[in-house]
Amino acid sequence: MFDRTVHLLNESGLHARPATLFVETASKFRSQIMVKKGDQEVDGKSVLSLMLLELTKGTPVTIKAEGEDEVQAVNALVELMEGLFDS
Amino acid sequence: MFKGIGASPGVAFGRAVVLADEKQAASGTAKSGIEEETARLESALSETRRQITDIMDRCATGVGEKEARIFKMQLLVLDDAMFLNRVKDDIRSGRLSAAAAVQDAVSSLSGRFEGLSDDYLRQRAIDIVDVGKRLLQNLNRLPSHDTGPQEAGIIFAPDLTPSETSLMDPQTVLGLVTEAGGPTSHTAILARALNIPAVVGTKGVLALVRDGDTVIVDGGSGEVFIRPDVPTVDCYRRRAEAERSAREKLAGAVDLPAVTLDGFRVAIAVNIGGPREIGAIPSPGAEGVGLFRTEFLFLSRDTLPSEDEQFGIYREVVSRAAPHPVVFRTLDAGADKSIPALRLAAEQNPFLGLRGIRLCLRQEQGMFRDQLRALVRASVFGKMAVMLPMVSDVAEIEASRKILGEVLREPGPDGEKIAEDVPLGIMVETPAAAVMADSWAAAVDFFSIGTNDLIQYVMAADRLNERVAYLFQPFHPAVLRMISGVVQAAHRYGKRVTVCGEMAADPLAVLLLTGMDVDGLSMSPGAIPLIKNTIRGVKKNDVTALARKALGLPGAGQVVEMVREFYRERLDADV
C-alpha cells in the first residue's frame, strides 16, 4: 500500500470536471485506489463517490493505492491534484 | 408577469412551446427473469453510452469543448461502481426489475447530491437524473426525442437536462424558461454559451402558460410575460431590435480605440494567467498585457523554476507583445495559493497572512532575486514593467526597489550590463496602499488597482464565503472612494493608474472608472468588445458627473440603480 496527502489548491474544490479528470486518470491504473478525507474513505474510480465527498479548497486529502502500480498511481494523482488551479 | 432568475441575458419574443415532464413508468418487481433483466440492463447501458458519446461529439463542435465535458462525466456515471453495483444487486436479488432498480438508484443518488452544502455540486443531481432518464428510456425502448421544436419558439419546461439543453438549435429555440434551476445550473450555463436568453426558477409558470401563447422573456431581469398587452409588446420589440443592433456594433468595436464621444482615451490591455494564453498574445484590440500572473510557473512542481527557465517564458511574452508593454506581477502566492516547492505552513487566515510581496521578501532561496533577474534579462526584448502584489507598507517597496537596483547593476550571462532600467509599480489591493497612494507616489512608477482583493479587504468580507459573499460589493461607495482617491493622488504626481480586477471587465463599473479618470483597464480578451463599446458610447463629462454622484451615495444598491439607468439611457441597451 502506498499513500500521499495533498491539499487541494483550486478555489472551487473537486468539482465535476476535476473529479472527471481524476477518475479518468485513476482508471488508467490497475491498483485499487481510495481517496480519504477525515475518516471518510471512498473508491477513487467512482466519480459519484468523489463528488459526494465534497472536497473543498485546502482540504487535506489522502490518496491511497494498493496493487502492482500503486506508487505510479498515487504520484500521478497527486500531480494531477496539485496541478488543478483556477486561472 | 412572472419573475424568475435571469440566467442568460437577452430578450426573446415568440410563441411558447411547452414541454411536459414525461414521467417514466417503471414497473416494480421483475416480470421477466433475473438473467433477462440483467441482459436488458447491459444492452440499455451500451445504447446509452453510444447516445451520450454522440451528443458529446455534437456538443463539442456546436457548443464548445468545455460544455461537452459535462457529458464526459455522465459517461463515467454510467460505469460508476457506486451506481451500477447498487442497480445490479437490486436486480440480482430478484426484488426489482432493471427499470425499477435504475429509477431507485437515480432518485436515491440525486437525493444525496441535493443534500450537499456546495451549491455547484448540489446541482449535479440533474446529471444523475439526466443519465437515469436516458437509461430508462432505453430500457423501456421508448424512442428518445433529442430534437427541439421544429418551429421557432420559446421553450417552457419544469427543468431541462444537459442533453436536452445542448441539443437545442439556436435557430429554432428563441428562449428558455424553466421552473427549476439556479444561475449555475446547466440550463443557465449552456444557454449563455449558446447565447439563448433564459430565465430559470420561475415556479408556477407552467400552470399558466399554454402551448402557442405569445410570450416575452427577458433573460437579463428574469421577467417572463405571458400573453402580454400591446404596450408591453411594443416596448420589448423596440428593446429586442436595439439589442440586435448593439450586438452587431459590438463585434466591430474590438479593433477601435476605447475613446469617449468627446475624445477621452482609455488604454485597454489583457490579463494573462496561464501558459495556453501566451500563444494568444498579441490579443486583438489590446495594447499589451496589463497583468501577467507569474504564479503558473511555480505551481504543480516540487522545485522552484530556475532563472533561465523563467527568462525563456518572459522573453517570449515580451517579444510577442512588443511594441506594447507587458506588466509582470511578481509571484503572488500564499497559504491560499500554495507553492509546493516553498512548503508553506497552513495559516488560520491566509488572506491576512504571508502572501504576495510579504512572501517574496521573506524567501531564503533567492527566489525573488531569480525572478527579478529573469525579468530584467527579458526586458531588453520588448517593453515591460514589474509590479508588486499585496503591498501594505512602504518598506516593501523600498526593499524591492533595492533588490531590483542590484539586479540591474549585475552583469548578465555574457558579462555585459543587461538593462538600464525597468519601471516598478505596485498593486493597490490593501486599504493601506489605497490610502497611502499620495505619500508613496514618489516611490513607484505606476499603480494598478486589483479590485477583487481590494473589495474583499475594504468590506472585510471573504468573497468565497457564501454567507458573506453578498458584502462583496464592487459598487459600494467605500470601494469607489478608495479607487477615486488613488487615481487623484497618483495623478497629482504624474503617475498612471490602471485597473486589472473583475471591475475592469464590467461595463457598469467601467463607466465609473472612466469617470474617475482611470488611465487604463486590463481584462480577459473576451470582455474587450463590450468594454470598448461602452466607453465609445458615452461622454467623459457625463461619466465624470456620474462618478461624482456615485461617491456621494450611501450604498451599493443606489449606485447600481443609478449607473444601470445611465447605461440604459446612453447606450440604449441593458446589462
Per the domain annotation, does B496 fall within a domain?
yes
Which residues of chain B make contact with A20, given a CB cutoff of 8 A?
A: 69, 72-73, 76
Q: Are residues B311 and B417 in the same domain?
A: yes
Which residues of chain A make contact with B86, given a CB cutoff of 8 A?
A: none
pLDDT confidence bin for A74, thresholds 50/70/90: very high
What is the reported pLDDT for B245? 75
Largest CA distance in chain A: 35
The mean per-residue pLDDT over the stretch B491-505 comes to: 93
pLDDT tens per residue, range B552-569? 999 999 999 999 999 999
List Cβ neighbours of B185 (8 Å cut-off, separation of 6 or more).
Answer: B7, B123, B126, B178, B200
Per the domain annotation, does B239 fall within a domain?
no
List Cβ neighbours of B394 (8 Å cut-off, separation of 6 or more).
Answer: B436, B439, B440, B443
Per the domain annotation, does B245 fall within a domain?
no
Q: Does A53 touch chain B (CB under 8 A)?
A: no
Q: How far apart are CA B304 and CA B310, in angstroms?
A: 10
Largest CA distance in chain B: 87
What value does the mean pLDDT of chain B take? 86
| 3-class DSSP state of B421 | coil
The dihedral of CA A49, A54, A57, A59: what is its sign?
A: negative
Which residues of chain A make contact with B346, given a CB cutoff of 8 A?
A: 7, 58
| 3-class DSSP state of A41 | strand
Give the end of a domain, one of B398, B422, B446. Answer: B422
Most confident of A55-64, B138-147, B273-282, B494-503: B494-503
Cβ contact B299–A56 (<8 Å): no
Domain span including residue B129: 29-139
> How many domains, in total, are found in chain B?
4
Which residues of chain A make contact with B300, given a CB cutoff of 8 A?
A: 79, 82-83, 85
Between B266-275, B432-441, B538-547, the lowest mean confidence (pLDDT) is in B266-275
In the predicted model, is pLDDT for residue B23 greater than 50? no
pLDDT tens per residue, range B65-103? 767 778 888 899 998 988 999 999 888 888 788 888 898
In the predicted model, is pLDDT for residue B162 greater than 70? no
Give percent of chain A above pLDDT 70.
95
**Distance from the A71 Cα atom to the nearest Cα atom in chain B, whole angstroms:** 17
Q: Other CB atoms closer than 10 Å to residue B162's CB: what's the count?
A: 24
pLDDT confidence bin for A87, thresholds 50/70/90: very low
Domain of B303: which CATH number? 3.20.20.60
Q: Are residues B274 and B387 in the same domain?
A: yes
Question: Which residues 12-51 of chain B have a CB within 8 Å of chain A?
Answer: none
Between B148-152, B210-214, B362-366, the lowest mean confidence (pLDDT) is in B148-152
Phi/psi of residue A44, nearest 5 degrees: -75, -5
In the predicted model, is pLDDT for residue B435 greater than 90? yes
Q: Are residues B283 and B406 in the same domain?
A: yes
> Which of A52, A80, A86 is the mutation pick for testing B, counting most B CBs within 10 A?
A52
Give the end of a domain, one of B86, B119, B139. Answer: B139
In the predicted model, is pLDDT for residue B448 greater than 70? yes
Ranges of H-type helices in B161-287: 162-166, 186-194, 230-253, 275-278
Cβ contact B73–A19 (<8 Å): yes
In the predicted model, is pLDDT for residue B12 greater than 50? yes
Domain span including residue A75: 2-83
Higher-scoring residue by pLDDT: B136, B264: B264
Domain of A69: which CATH number? 3.30.1340.10
Q: Are residues B271 and B336 in the same domain?
A: yes
What is the 3-state secondary structure of B356-419? CHHHHHHCCCCHHHHHHHHHHHHHCCCEEEEEECCCCCHHHHHHHHHHHHHHHHCECCCCCECC
Q: What grid cell was written down for A27?
A: 482508471
Q: Are residues B367 and B222 in the same domain?
A: no
Give percent of chain A above pLDDT 90.
51
Calculate the CA B359 to chain-centre distance: 28
Q: Are residues B333 and B447 in the same domain?
A: no
Residue tagged active-site, from A4, A15, A36, A57: A15
What is the reported pLDDT for B495? 97
Q: Does B469 touch chain A (CB under 8 A)?
A: no
B197-216 burial code (b ≥16 CB/10 A, e <16): bbbbbbeebbeebeeebebb
Q: Which residues face B175 on adjacent strands?
A: B154
Q: Are residues B487 and B547 in the same domain?
A: yes
Q: Are residues B289 and B411 in the same domain?
A: yes
Residue with cell 441593458: B574
List Cβ neighbours of B414 (8 Å cut-off, separation of 6 or more).
Answer: none
Catalytic residues of B: 186, 500
Per the domain annotation, does B57 fall within a domain?
yes
Q: How far apart are CA B91 and CA B88, in angstroms?
A: 5
**Minimum-distance CB partner of B76 among A13, A15, A20:** A20
Which residues of chain B make contact with A11, given a CB cutoff of 8 A?
A: 464
> Which of B85, B121, B298 is the mutation pick for testing A, counting most A CBs within 10 A?
B121
The dihedral of CA B175, B524, B120, B559: what is its sign?
A: negative
Q: Which residues face B449 on adjacent strands?
A: B428, B499
**Distance from the A15 Cα atom to the nearest Cα atom in chain B, whole angstroms:** 7
What is the reported pLDDT for B535? 96
Contact B106, B125 (CB under 8 A): no
Q: Does B80 touch chain A (CB under 8 A)?
A: yes
pLDDT confidence bin for B325, thresholds 50/70/90: very high
Per the domain annotation, does B429 fall within a domain?
no
Q: Are residues B125 and B180 in the same domain?
A: no
Q: How many CB pairs under 8 A join A and B?
A: 76
What is the reported pLDDT for B11? 86
In the predicted model, is pLDDT for residue B144 greater than 50? no
Instruction: Locate the DSSP E strands across A9-55.
Output: 32-37, 40-43
| 3-class DSSP state of B526 | helix
Q: How far apart are CA B383 and CA A22, in angstroms?
A: 41
The mean per-residue pLDDT over the stretch B198-205 comes to: 88
Q: How far apart are CA A15 and CA A4, in angstroms?
A: 21
Q: Does A5 touch chain B (CB under 8 A)?
A: no
ipTM > 0.90? no
Q: Are residues B351 and B387 in the same domain?
A: yes
**Minimum-distance CB partner of B77 among A9, A43, A47:** A47
> What Cα–Cα distance (Å) separates residue B359 from each residue in A12, B339, B340, B363, B552?
24, 11, 14, 6, 38
Per the domain annotation, does B9 fall within a domain?
yes
List Cβ neighbours of B372 (8 Å cut-off, separation of 6 or more).
Answer: B330, B386, B403, B404, B407
The mean per-residue pLDDT over the stretch B208-214 comes to: 86
pTM of the model as a whole: 0.55
Which residues of chain A make contact with B293, given a CB cutoff of 8 A?
A: 87
User: In which region does residue A67 sit, left (phi positive, over 0), alpha (psi from -120 to 50) or beta (all else)?
Assistant: left
What is the reported pLDDT for B143? 46
Q: Are residues B111 and B218 in the same domain?
A: no
> How many domains, in total, are found in chain A?
1
Q: Other CB atoms closer than 10 Å to residue B551's CB: what's the count?
A: 16
The mean per-residue pLDDT over the stretch B411-420 comes to: 77
Q: Are residues B166 and B184 in the same domain?
A: yes
Cβ contact B346–A79 (<8 Å): no
Domain of B2: which CATH number? 3.50.30.10
